[in-house]
Amino acid sequence: MSEKHVEISLDKIRTIFKKAQSRIDAIPEGGKIPATQLAEDIAKEHGMTGPQLYPTLKFLLDGYPNVDIRRGAHGGIFKLPSKKDEPVVAPTPETPSTDNSQE
């Protein structure tokens, strides 16, 4: 019975994370949204407050790809420019390929 409770709870968190993901992915390159505002907006939809939800959102925000999380009065979730224009560098003997298809 407790396993079912865990699964139901994870589904609720997954829904919250998906909403946060949508909002973060919609930030234009170079743009930002306050993390506290993101938490507040999503929390309202779930009968919570931003400060109640923020610690849970931290699990998603830490290490989120292509964003920089900054603290303080001028902080927030900043969308970094994409790295599309970076050249692809072939592996050298010092940086061997991770392709193991020949093994």
pLDDT in tens, 13-37: 999 999 999 999 999 999 999 999 9
Residue 45 lies in a domain: yes
* Lookup: tokens for 49: 């407050």
CB of 42 within 8 A of CB of 20?
A: yes
What is the CATH number for 53?
Answer: 1.10.10
Helix (H) or strand (E) holding 67: strand 67-70
The pair of structure tokens assigned to 93 is: 């003997």
Mean pLDDT of 3-21: 96
Q: How far apart are CA 17 and CA 42, in angstroms?
A: 9
pTM > 0.75 = no
Residue 86 lies in a domain: no
Query: Considering only CA atoms, which of 26, 33, 15 is closest in space to residue 69?
Result: 33
Which tokens is 25 given? 């992915």
Domain count of the chain?
A: 1
